[in-house]
Chains A and B, each alone.
Chain A
């Protein structure tokens, strides 16, 4: 899943004015979520693919077939049945998966959640022209014969083909897969497998008002202002082992200035006593973690599941020596400091985080790359010199200027200054291209029309298997491949190896294959490893259950609890 944090928002609001806005008054049994974004990227369950948003929607308004347990620590990475009675049963060597829905499941309007609704929901994820940005696992895994364009455009024959792949028998939904997927019940934690009532489906507009199957429902949703969730009285706690729904109301406040959010949480007055925010700005880190002891108690600094990296457009930068030169010249230590030093995380050695255990093995690093993150200008110059003879056109392009798309925020302006400075030393020019609204950054760079040379990336596995990392980031069918690497001479070999790893049933053997593929990408530098990131979050003094939910690197929003005033 994509990383939400892109950087600091454009500051429209002065700190002082927002400080006064939050003073005084008591607090209610309401959770206030503060964010700089103008809206939630996608609330449509089949389109939601951002760690933080999945944690939010999945714990409040949407249920899937299975879910990660709503618990802190390692327990939070275990799965359990959600709409389904258990974590599913596989047959035919892991090629057929069946889930049985619980009884008494209802939508917010009181209608019953049926097996057909789940099948319909999953089918929506095939309609990639309308249902954009979502995970593509259903399309990859399901054995739908022939082309299936999703329910909106499908012919009767196409729909019949889909209905063969996903069948309903009473309360039991069965998925027929192309090949063995041993951990398909982890895939079903994604909201792709969340039910959508066909009659209520508004296509693209469903994003703004999805029908709730969870303990909360949408009362109002105004882009740039707020999303208000209130209790859904049709939800029955007897059908749900994980969601507790302690708070009466959850309000998502949009469009706030990031520094103002930090200030409000530090000040901790009035309604902000029950506020939470994901991410702390570098300039506030010292105040929070090394200033007041009471503040540090309301904040957390941990390794989240993400890896931060930089995508190179392999189509434009088709020469490995130029990519090497860029990596060697980059002052990674300066970038890390600009992001908050050790709070940013550790230098990444690849795209699979050590947290992945079985899939991780430290890849051999590029010769000449300094371990301490400092640039190796001499080696970079040598690589550029080699490029001059091997691929003069690409070298000339690098000298002429590489387009770097960045979110137009203060931190990214500094990061760009560091990029420009480091690349300049190796004779490479950077042309900065600012993307105004940080929330538009991913949509902008994911648009195939956008002509970039360098864009950033941030990714976390969708579940504990690198099959959700390497194929997603580097194959053409992947959901977040920004490297445009299809034209690379080694790509075919890579894709074959990926398919082989996917089909390897022995988990340990599969892990070794992912390790090798991680090495494969690191050797070819389709993207440059950046940081194994750390994440910092803060919450108000009256918030309980503020643990960070491992698989998502986010609060378990739906189970946040307000410590009510004693009367």
Chain B
């Protein structure tokens, strides 16, 4: 009787396992991600920020606020917001900017556009460069790998923030002389360019490592044995197996670049007035920490929440793609 029971149980488990194994790795990953409730919330936050950024003009006009309209009446004689909590009122839900009386909510919404634009574009550029360099380096090995490896090390060792600061003005001028529209366009192009120059190494190193191990695997050898060319092996055999680590890097890179944009703005290398950006808001608000602390918290919290959301999603994606990870049971 006992043996029969256990046999039955074994049968059931086996059949269950069979049905589970029929799912593709991607379906499995999605299922694992969905079990992570925190990650789902974080994803919702990211989507919310994206929607707000994309529809900023619409949202602001619906709310009847403008990021550029001055409101001197909301300021006292010191140029500081009237009333407590940074001038929070029915007309200005998050208060007004000291000095000008511009609406902070509207500037936050418009600022999200710059931050997101820079974050996503910079990630796109660095990932594209990183994948190409990484695959070439890992697949070719030998001299090519050695040379690329040294370049990678050199780039990593560079004090990139210092260089970013030092190069800002000369490079922006050069860009403008190349016909890129002066003003904010050239500044955004510069930020993305410089982040691209320094950011690709992180992706490249991960991709190279992955490629090194993949290229020795049987399926690659099989492809090679059946006469597949380098291009086919790279694009059809290696690439599809690289997306997991790349996605993880990407989700962790975006908030990094959003924060970098803020840093540059904070250092005065960001957008030109009157454009709003979170970094510029932070840079400005820090000075008012004593006179108007509310102003400091608002852009700070917005940035923290976004960066945190991306990190949570990034972690969840990594866990979902890697069954051995230890955060599976978090749900």
From 69 to 102 in chain B, residues with beta carbon under 8 angstroms from any chain A beta carbon are 69-70, 72, 75-80, 97-102
- How far apart are the CA atoms of A10 and B78 in the complex, in Å? 22
B80 and A413 contacting across the interface, CB-CB below 8 Å? no
Residues of A within 8 Å of B325, CB to CB, are: none
B273 and A282 contacting across the interface, CB-CB below 8 Å? no
- How far apart are the CA atoms of A310 and B157 in the complex, in Å? 46
| Interface majority SS (helix, strand, loop, mixed), chain A | helix
- Contact partner of A282 (CB less than 8 A), chosen from B79, B274, B283, is B79
Min Cβ gap B95→A in Å is: 15
- How far apart are the CA atoms of A414 and B100 in the complex, in Å? 7
Min Cβ gap A175→B in Å is: 45
Min Cβ gap B137→A in Å is: 36
B78 and A408 contacting across the interface, CB-CB below 8 Å? no
From 29 to 76 in chain A, residues with beta carbon under 8 angstroms from any chain B beta carbon are none
Is the CB of A204 closer than 8 A to any CB of chain B? no
B287 and A287 contacting across the interface, CB-CB below 8 Å? no
- Known A-B contacts A341-B76, A417-B100; the reply to A334 vs B266 at CB < 8 A is no
CB < 8 Å A-B pair total: 104
- Contact partner of B79 (CB less than 8 A), chosen from A12, A287, A340, A408, is A340
Is the CB of A281 closer than 8 A to any CB of chain B? yes
- Contact partner of A334 (CB less than 8 A), chosen from B100, B283, B289, is B100
B80 and A286 contacting across the interface, CB-CB below 8 Å? yes
- How far apart are the CA atoms of A479 and B54 in the complex, in Å? 51
- How far apart are the CA atoms of A338 and B98 in the complex, in Å? 7
- How far apart are the CA atoms of A432 and B101 in the complex, in Å? 20
Q: Interface size for chain B: under 10, 10 to 19, 20 to 34, or 35 or more residues?
A: 35 or more
Is the CB of B267 closer than 8 A to any CB of chain A? yes
- How far apart are the CA atoms of A331 and B97 in the complex, in Å? 17
Is the CB of B284 closer than 8 A to any CB of chain A? yes
- How far apart are the CA atoms of A341 and B79 in the complex, in Å? 6
- Contact partner of B287 (CB less than 8 A), chosen from A281, A331, A333, A436, is A281
- Chain A 3-36, CB within 8 Å of chain B: the 1/0 string? 0000010111011000000000000000000000
Min Cβ gap B252→A in Å is: 25
B72 and A417 contacting across the interface, CB-CB below 8 Å? no
- How far apart are the CA atoms of A15 and B285 in the complex, in Å? 12
Residues of A within 8 Å of B79, CB to CB, are: 282, 337-341
- Known A-B contacts A10-B267, A420-B273, A436-B169; the reply to A413 vs B78 at CB < 8 A is no
From 265 to 286 in chain B, residues with beta carbon under 8 angstroms from any chain A beta carbon are 266-268, 272-274, 280, 283-284, 286
Residues of A within 8 Å of B274, CB to CB, are: 416-417, 420-421
- Chain A 337-362, CB within 8 Å of chain B: the 1/0 string? 11111110000000000000000000
From 245 to 299 in chain B, residues with beta carbon under 8 angstroms from any chain A beta carbon are 266-268, 272-274, 280, 283-284, 286-292
B100 and A11 contacting across the interface, CB-CB below 8 Å? no
- Known A-B contacts A331-B70, A334-B72, A417-B273; the reply to A340 vs B78 at CB < 8 A is yes
From 296 to 324 in chain A, residues with beta carbon under 8 angstroms from any chain B beta carbon are none
- Identity of the chain A residue whose Cβ is nearest the Cβ of B288 in the assembled complex: A283
- Identity of the chain A residue whose Cβ is nearest the Cβ of B268 in the assembled complex: A10
- How far apart are the CA atoms of A417 and B98 in the complex, in Å? 13
- Known A-B contacts A341-B76, A421-B68; the reply to A259 vs B273 at CB < 8 A is no
B102 and A417 contacting across the interface, CB-CB below 8 Å? yes
- How far apart are the CA atoms of A73 and B68 in the complex, in Å? 44
- Known A-B contacts A10-B268, A436-B268; the reply to A341 vs B68 at CB < 8 A is no
Residues of A within 8 Å of B209, CB to CB, are: none
A421 and B98 contacting across the interface, CB-CB below 8 Å? no
Is the CB of B183 closer than 8 A to any CB of chain A? yes
Is the CB of A179 closer than 8 A to any CB of chain B? no
Is the CB of A284 closer than 8 A to any CB of chain B? yes
Q: Interface size for chain A: under 10, 10 to 19, 20 to 34, or 35 or more residues?
A: 35 or more
- How far apart are the CA atoms of A421 and B79 in the complex, in Å? 17
B70 and A334 contacting across the interface, CB-CB below 8 Å? yes
| Interface majority SS (helix, strand, loop, mixed), chain B | loop
A410 and B287 contacting across the interface, CB-CB below 8 Å? yes
Min Cβ gap A552→B in Å is: 26
- Chain A 410-443, CB within 8 Å of chain B: the 1/0 string? 1101101110110000000001101010000000
- Identity of the chain A residue whose Cβ is nearest the Cβ of B274 in the assembled complex: A417
A11 and B78 contacting across the interface, CB-CB below 8 Å? no
Residues of B within 8 Å of A283, CB to CB, are: 80, 98, 287-288, 290-292
- Identity of the chain B residue whose Cβ is nearest the Cβ of A409 in the assembled complex: B268
- How far apart are the CA atoms of A420 and B184 in the complex, in Å? 15
- How far apart are the CA atoms of A417 and B102 in the complex, in Å? 10
Min Cβ gap A235→B in Å is: 41
- Identity of the chain B residue whose Cβ is nearest the Cβ of A410 in the assembled complex: B284
Most chain A CB within 10 A, of B80, B284, B290, is at B290
- Known A-B contacts A286-B78, A414-B100, A417-B273; the reply to A337 vs B72 at CB < 8 A is yes
Min Cβ gap B76→A in Å is: 7
Residues of B within 8 Å of A408, CB to CB, are: 268
B267 and A282 contacting across the interface, CB-CB below 8 Å? no
- How far apart are the CA atoms of A297 and B287 in the complex, in Å? 23
- How far apart are the CA atoms of A282 and B79 in the complex, in Å? 8
Residues of B within 8 Å of A432, CB to CB, are: 183, 272-273
Give residues in B with beta carbon < 8 Å to A: 68-70, 72, 75-80, 97-102, 168-169, 182-183, 266-268, 272-274, 280, 283-284, 286-292
Known contacts A281-B287, A413-B284, A420-B273, then 17 further A-B pairs from the complex at CB < 8 Å, ordered by chain A residue: A282-B79, A283-B291, A286-B291, A337-B79, A337-B100, A338-B79, A339-B99, A340-B79, A341-B75, A341-B79, A410-B287, A414-B100, A417-B68, A417-B100, A417-B102, A418-B70, A431-B182
Give residues in A with beta carbon < 8 Å to B: 8, 10-12, 14-15, 259, 281-287, 331, 333-334, 337-343, 408-411, 413-414, 416-418, 420-421, 431-432, 434, 436
5 smallest beta-carbon distances between A and B, as pairs: A417-B274, A10-B268, A338-B99, A341-B77, A416-B273
13 residue pairs from A and B, CB less than 8 Å apart: A8-B287, A11-B287, A282-B98, A283-B291, A284-B291, A337-B75, A339-B99, A409-B268, A410-B284, A413-B273, A413-B284, A417-B68, A434-B272
